[in-house]
Amino acid sequence: MFTGIVDELGKIKKIEKLSNGAKLVIECKNILSDDKIGDSICVNGVCQTVIEFNSSSFSVMLSDETLKVTNFSDIKQGDYVNLERALMLNTRLGGHIVSGHIDCTGILISVDKLSDFYNLKFEIPQKSSKYIVYKGSITINGISLTVAEVKENTFTVAIIPHTYKNTVLKYLKTGDRVNIETDILAKYVEKLLGLNDNKTNGNISMEFLKENGFV
């Protein structure tokens, strides 16, 4: 379990293709001081198991399924990735509950530089858009962010300078794919309320949540 608060940027040192997946070696500086084999590290929003490590790098293995549903199939040697260690019970929950299980990938369609902030707009598959609400939480490449605007299957997030400079967001270009994890609470609400019936046609809206006492 993670919070979506990035600990540091890592760099892809090596990519080894396997018969049914891939192995990544990732360089980093700080997060391995108290880690051990078998620990979980969130890599660009994807929960991964450490299989090898030394003082300056660690290795993880990606299954075919992970390559299929994430943007890891686009990654190259030398690329940077967001890294976060697993949540400890005595740690402040600075972001929101992040499982590290990716729901879909999104496409960056625009970047607007304001005086200090950045507005990033993404497009996602229509089937995932029902889980995104105005002012709700969303995870992009492992970063806990707040939704500033929603329109059909696009959404916008407002990025403060600190987040932009200290995560892989600064390297993104329009057309790049990102890993998206929607708020897990929305999925539990859908399950509990049976949103596949005729009351909502499978869509969660802010009005629906207010009517049913969730906000």
Q: Exposed, middle or buried by CB within 10 Å (0-12, 13-18, 19+), for 9?
A: middle
Q: What is the pTM (predicted TM-score) of this model?
A: 0.86
- What is the DSSP code string of 143-167? EEEEEEEEETTEEEEEE-HHHHHTS
- Domains of the chain by range and CATH? 8-85 (2.40.30.20), 104-211 (2.40.30.20)
Task: Return the pLDDT at 25.
Answer: 98
With a cut of 50, which residues of the chain have pLDDT below it? 198
Q: Which long-range contacts (CB under 8 A, 24 or more apart) does 32-39 make?
A: 32/56, 32/58, 35/85, 39/85, 39/86
- Tell me which amino acid residue 17 is: K
Task: Return the pLDDT at 115.
Answer: 85
Task: Return the pLDDT at 207.
Answer: 75
Helices marked H in 40-108 — which ranges? 64-69
